[in-house]
Amino acid sequence: MALSDLLLLGRGNDLASERGVSCTGELPAASDPSLVARAVAARKSLGSRALVLGHHYQRDEVIAFADITGDSFKLAQAAADTHEAEFIIFCGVHFMAESADILTSAQQKVILPDLAAGCSMADMATASQVNECWKVLEELGVASKTIPVTYMNSSAAIKSFTGKNGGTICTSSNAKAAMSWALEQGEKILFLPDQHLGRNTAVLSLGLSLDDCVLWNPWKPMGGLTQEEIRHAKIILWRGHCSVHGRFTLDNVQAVRAAIPGVQVLVHPECQHEVVSVADVVGSTEMIIRTVDASPTGSKWAIGTELNLVQRLAKKHPDKEIVFLDKTVCYCSTMNRIDLPHLVWVMESLVNNHLVNQIQVDSEVAQYSRLALTRMLAL
């Protein structure tokens, strides 16, 4: 394993120091009684110079200041369609801010309020590991028939690899369209980095079988697969997962169904295949919200996704019974790093003409990533 891979493994915990920028000591105290008033004042003074984007997993105190809330697809579209704002303040995680930087013009600056807001799943596929995998596929003579389909939850370097090799990005709301498109372009898919979204979409949406899928383990020679397995597979799934969604189990589903008669189980496709297979409804964060919003009074939902979103839905719909699918509390710790003090800090800094926490993707990486992202937006 390369030293750079070892270093990247710890990246989710240490993005701030790695990128050399810190706001330690400059952050307003979370206990500052004037924090909300400071946020309102800074937001007002930035006016249309700034656009605040908020992913659905953000805390309520941050969502309160978002001009647009959405899933990762909707926020990528919003960034691409934003031409007026000089600053895009991205309240989400690092890969989302990178994608926004790639999709906005050179004059626009994308800001991530806390640079340590990474994504452990995105860190599970490094550029050197993916290049090594592709080399094996080339040596076996199958790379030319393989189309990379890369989940939005990936670094810009992996998106760039995808664009260079004729592939597309997907999100949880368009994975089916992206994989169908890829199978029209080639015979196989290399799906990065979330094995669960890839497997769930292949089997439950495209009607492929579990035997059509193999799992590439980046820590083993040849991904831990035989030449025959690689040649035979239709879908090569990367061995990555989300630690938040990976917690939901079949036991959770059975327990909630026993405890709440008539409950419907609604989960994100990053959950394990055995959970998604028995759920009543499966969808992206935006789809989860639409489904609950459209359901009649008295509906009962057990939701398997990040807790901030589930709690917000429960508050919004007191006429419905909404519970978290797991018994134990589970926030996405990196999404949660962005709080009101960080948002106030970046907004006040911008008001004072001090640009902080800008996310800038290298121009060559951005060029090929844009190709892959644009393919997705056109699907």
Chain positions contacting ligand SF4, by CB under 6 A? 93, 119-121, 153, 242-244, 270, 306, 332, 334-335
Rounded to the nearest 10°, the torsion over CA 240, 104, 168, 195 is 10
Out of 160, 162, 264, 284, which residue is the one contacting ligand 13P (CB under 6 A)? 284
Report helix, strand or coil for 232. helix
| Residue 367 touches which of ligand SF4, ligand 13P, none (Cβ within 5-8 Å per kind) | none
Q: 267-277 burial by CB neighbour count: b if 16+ within 10 A, else e?
A: bbbbbbbebbe
Give the interface segment with ligand 13P, choosing from 29-37, 65-73, 103-111, 162-170 (CB under 6 A): 65-73
The footprint of ligand 13P on residues 154-213 (CB under 6 A) is: 171-172
Contact 170, 209 (CB under 8 A): no
Sign, CA dihedral 293-297-300-306, equals: positive
With CB atoms as reference, the residue minimizing the distance to ligand 13P is 71
What's the rounded Cα separation, in Å, for the pair 271 and 302?
14
The whole-angstrom separation of Cα 127 and Cα 125 is 7
CB under 5 to 8 A by kind: which of ligand SF4, ligand 13P, none does 69 bind? none
Region from 70-78, 82-90, 174-182, 217-225 binding ligand 13P, contact rule CB under 6 A: 70-78
Report the residue number, 143 or 267, with the smaller CB distance to ligand 13P: 267
Per-residue x/- mask for ligand 13P, residues 137 to 156, rule CB under 6 A?
----------------x---
Counting residues that bind ligand 13P (by CB under 6 A) gives 11
CA–CA separation, 93 vs 338, rounded Å? 9
Single residue of 242, 266, 310, 346 touching ligand 13P by CB under 6 A? 242
Q: Is the dihedral of CA 242, 245, 248, 253 positive or negative?
A: negative
Q: Compute the least distance from the CB of residue 298 to ligand SF4, in Å.
A: 30
- For residues 280 and 257, the answer to whether their CB atoms sit within 8 Å is no
Residues near ligand 13P, by CB under 6 A = 71-73, 153, 171-172, 242, 268, 270, 284-285
